[in-house]
């Protein structure tokens, strides 16, 4: 059965702590994200507010972390963490778009929308890139 982002209980069996993440899940619902984007976006958010507090955030699609890093030129990368491996580039791009909408709106000073990889995405893994902010 397809999960419905507007029914938070659909995510209870996914191991998502509905109490802890209720506000984030409601924000994702208001943004109209695809249900397949929920868990990877939550995972990236957990890293952004915990492990990499204060770092710049960018969402990228690639085949490997090394490929993603090579597209950033002079940007000082702190870490490249996989968010989700998908079976298709289309799914990866959907997850990236949904995560970007969330981070752009809820982390506006940290989301690096002025950093653009030099090449088009190839592969089907979505990565969250943490970088030094300039």
Name the pTM for this structure. 0.82
Tokens of residue 85, six digits: 């491996």
Please write the tens of the pLDDT for every residue from 12-38: 555 666 667 778 878 888 888 898 898
Rounded distance between C-alpha atoms, residue 99 and residue 21, angstroms:
15
Q: What string of DSSP letters covers 92-111?
A: HHHHHHHHHHHHHHHSTTTB
Alpha helix (H) ranges present in 1-134?
18-31, 38-49, 65-70, 89-106
Residue 1, pLDDT score: 42
Please write the tens of the pLDDT for every residue from 63-89: 888 888 877 766 788 999 999 999 999
């Amino acid at each position: 059965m397809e999960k419905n982002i507007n029914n938070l209980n659909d995510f209870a069996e996914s191991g998502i702590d509905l109490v802890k993440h209720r506000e984030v899940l409601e924000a994702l619902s208001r943004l109209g994200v695809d249900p397949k984007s929920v868990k990877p976006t939550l995972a990236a958010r957990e890293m952004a507010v915990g492990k990499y507090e204060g770092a710049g955030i960018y969402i990228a699609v690639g085949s490997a972390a090394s490929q993603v890093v090579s597209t950033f030129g002079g940007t000082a990368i702190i870490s490249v963490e996989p968010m989700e491996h998908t079976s298709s580039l289309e799914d990866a791009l959907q997850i990236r778009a949904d995560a970007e909408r969330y981070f752009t709106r809820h982390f506006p000073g940290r989301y690096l929308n002025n950093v653009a990889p030099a090449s088009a995405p190839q592969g089907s893994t979505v990565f969250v890139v943490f970088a030094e902010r300039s």
